[in-house]
Amino acid sequence: MAAHCYERPLHTGAVDPETLNVRVRSDAGDWRDAVHLSHGTAEQVYLLLRIAMVDHLTAASSESCPLLCDDITAHCDSVRTGAIMDLLHRMSQARQIIVFAQQPSIVRWAAKHLDVARDRIAMLDRALIRA
pLDDT (tens digit per residue) in 31-52? 888 888 888 888 888 888 888 8
User: What pTM, to 2 d.p., does this model score?
Assistant: 0.75
Name which of 51, 17, 45, 50 is nearest 33 in CA terms.
Answer: 45
Whether the per-residue pLDDT at 129 is higher than 80: the answer is: no
Q: How long a stretch of residues is the chain? A: 131
Provide the angle, in degrees to the nearest 10, between the axes of the packed helices 39-58 and 78-91.
10
Q: Which residue has the higher pLDDT, 126 or 67?
A: 67
> What's the confidence (pLDDT) of residue 27?
76
Residue 118's pLDDT is: 92
When the pLDDT of each residue in the chain is averaged and rounded to a whole number, the result is: 82
**CA 113 to each of CA 54, 66, 72, 74, 82: distance values in angstroms, whole numbers, following the listed order:** 25, 20, 18, 19, 10
Q: What is the mean pLDDT of residues 3-12?
A: 44
Rounded CA-CA distance 63/70 in Å is 23
